[in-house]
Amino acid sequence: MVLVLDAAIAMTGIFVGRGSGLLGLLAAGPLLACARCGGRATALVAAYAIALCAIVTAVSGTAGHMMATYRFIMVIAAGVVAVFVAVIRGRREGTLIRINDRVQRAILRPLPAEFGGVALASHYQSATKQALVGGDLYDIAMTQYGARFIIGDVKGKGLDAVGRCAAVLAAFRELAFAEPDLVNLAAEMDAYVSRDLEIEDFVTVILAEFAPGEVRIVNCGHHPPAKMTADSAELQLMAPGQPSPPLGLQPRPARQDIALGPGDRLLFYTDGLVEARDRKGRFFELSLPTVVKALAEPDLDAAVRKVVSLLLDHAGGRLADDVLLVLGEPSVTQQTSSRGHFPGSKGVALAGGQENRQ
């Protein structure tokens, strides 16, 4: 648009001729470019404006005139200033991005490939440009009660939601080691987080505790995980029998015990996955054969990458919300020690892989 603007000004100067006072307006191109473009791009726009100025003065026969020379110098000066401003702005933005990158990496630590007898693969993609994280959160910790995992989604997205994510993760990292019961852990986290939330704010979360042969979860208003057994080509949503509101709205969840045998997989995700729309407004469906086939890939990382690729194809390459996927499967370590239990483990999974506990 900047190049078109300068071209329009130059054409007007040529047609108007000697009496035109529009040459000075060519300085607008580089000055506008420096607000959004980098130093190199701004320099190209400046050179383009200077070249147009020289062409206009030559064609209109005003070369050598005092006013034309003054305007020519003004365009050159504007171009130099614009390049200088663009370079300084680019350096400052680069510094802020690096600081933001380190802060966000400190908030969301990468998940290990194997943890507590569970093989893991994950993908996080923020809908906000130049931001690694936004409104989605996750973490995992090895406690005396076993490997505990959290996935959640705070109200809002982008950098404004990072502070709320940090508060939720701080609550999890502080309380997950002290509270043996997942339901009570959710209640304590709700009390902790509610102090920093506004009246209309909330956080959907799933708290999970992995043990040999099963995973125990507490769902506070979050999308249910999807389970795929080793001998099935279908996904089963592990929806709670009794829905619970999110953190910040006094949740009262029930615990679910989900059987997780060798070869079984459990997909945790946020609403950015299932609420992504295509051009016709259709949601992304986990039950699609292509998605199920992708999740059945032998390598967990490859499975997650394929699901993300299918999602981006569905959404036309642009996401309206942050997306987080975590795919878990019992590892060889857990399978060989499945006769034992973590401290605090008790209960047997019901047929169908699910048992609700009040």
Which is more confident, 101 or 131?
A: 101
**Per-residue pLDDT, 147:** 93
Provide long-range contacts, Cβ within 8 A and 24+ apart, for 278-287. 278/314, 278/315, 278/316, 279/316, 284/310, 284/311, 284/314, 284/315, 286/226, 286/235, 286/237, 287/234, 287/235
8 A C-beta contact, residue 127 and residue 158: yes
Q: What is the mean pLDDT of residues 115-128?
A: 86
Which is more confident, 150 or 101?
A: 150
**Per-residue pLDDT, 336:** 45
What is the pLDDT of the chain when averaged over all its residues? 81
Which is more confident, 341 or 273?
A: 273
Cα distances (Å, whole numbers) of residue 106 to 100, 110, 170, 224, 349: 10, 9, 12, 27, 36
**DSSP state letters, 191-245:** HHHHTTS-TT--EEEEEEEEETTEEEEEEEBPPPPEEE-TT-SS-EE---SS---
Q: What is the mean pLDDT of residues 139-152?
A: 94
Q: Which CATH class is domain 108-357?
A: alpha beta
**Per-residue pLDDT, 180:** 93
Residue 137 has pLDDT above 50, yes or no: yes
**Per-residue pLDDT, 220:** 95
Q: What is the mean pLDDT of residues 11-20?
A: 59
> Residue 310: what are its φ and ψ, rounded to 5°?
-65, -35
Residue 84 has pLDDT above 50, yes or no: yes
**Per-residue pLDDT, 347:** 32
Residue ranges per domain, the chain?
Answer: 2-102, 108-357
Query: Where is average pLDDT lowest: 1-15, 63-77, 210-224, 236-250?
Result: 1-15
Residue 18 has pLDDT above 70, yes or no: no
Most confident range (mean pLDDT) of 66-75, 87-96, 298-307 is 298-307
**Per-residue pLDDT, 342:** 36
Task: Copy the structure tokens of residue 165.
Answer: 């994510």
**DSSP state letters, 75-139:** HHHHHHHHHHHHHHHHHHHHHHHHHHHHHHHHHSPPPPSEETTEEEEEEEE-SSTT-S-SSEEEE
What share of the chain has pLDDT > 70, as a percent? 80
pLDDT in tens, 29-77: 888 888 888 888 888 888 888 888 777 777 766 665 777 777 778 888 8
pLDDT in tens, 308-344: 999 999 988 888 788 899 999 998 655 444 444 333 3
Taking the C-alpha atoms of residue 235 and residue 42, their distance in angstroms, rounded to an integer, is: 52
The enclosing H or E element of 8 equals helix 2-16
* Torsion of the alpha carbons at 315, 319, 324 and 326, rounded to the nearest 10: 20
Residue 206 has pLDDT above 80, yes or no: yes
**Per-residue pLDDT, 60:** 67
**Per-residue pLDDT, 177:** 94
